[in-house]
Amino acid sequence: MTNPERDELLIRIDERLDTISRKLDRDGNALYGTDANPGTGLVQRVTTIETGAKWGLALAGVTGAIISLIVNVAVAMWRK
């Protein structure tokens, strides 16, 4: 490999690395948010949704237990 060929190869490698670096920055910003606006990425949004879903399921369980208790008390009082 001659020096000009080596130089050409190094230039192409540098250009590809620059392209990869820009794409990684873009993907990182989409996943985690930007430095100026952290917490706005997909990771934070999914975490918020999952936390909301867990609280929703817990609330549904408590609500179901309370309704069950009320129905059981009403049936017990009706039978007496």
Q: Are residues 31 and 43 in contact, defined by beta-carbon separation less than 8 angstroms? A: yes
* Residue 22 binned pLDDT confidence (cut-offs 50, 70, 90): very high
Residues 48 and 32 in one domain: no
Question: What integer pLDDT is reported at residue 63 of this predicted model?
Answer: 96
Question: 59 is written with which tokens?
Answer: 């609330």
Residues in CB range of 29: below 8 A, 6 or more apart? 41
Residues 51 and 67 in one domain: yes
Identify the H or E element spanning 32. Answer: helix 3-32
For residues 5-10, average pLDDT? 96
State which residues form the domain around 52.
41-80
Q: Are residues 32 and 41 in contact, defined by beta-carbon separation less than 8 angstroms? A: yes
Domain count, the chain: 2
Each residue of 36-79: pLDDT tens digit? 777 778 988 899 999 999 999 999 999 999 999 999 999 999 88
Residues 32 and 46 in one domain: no
39: nearest Cα among 29, 53, 50 = 29
* pTM recorded for the entire structure: 0.59
Question: What integer pLDDT is reported at residue 71 of this predicted model?
Answer: 95
Residues 32 and 52 in one domain: no
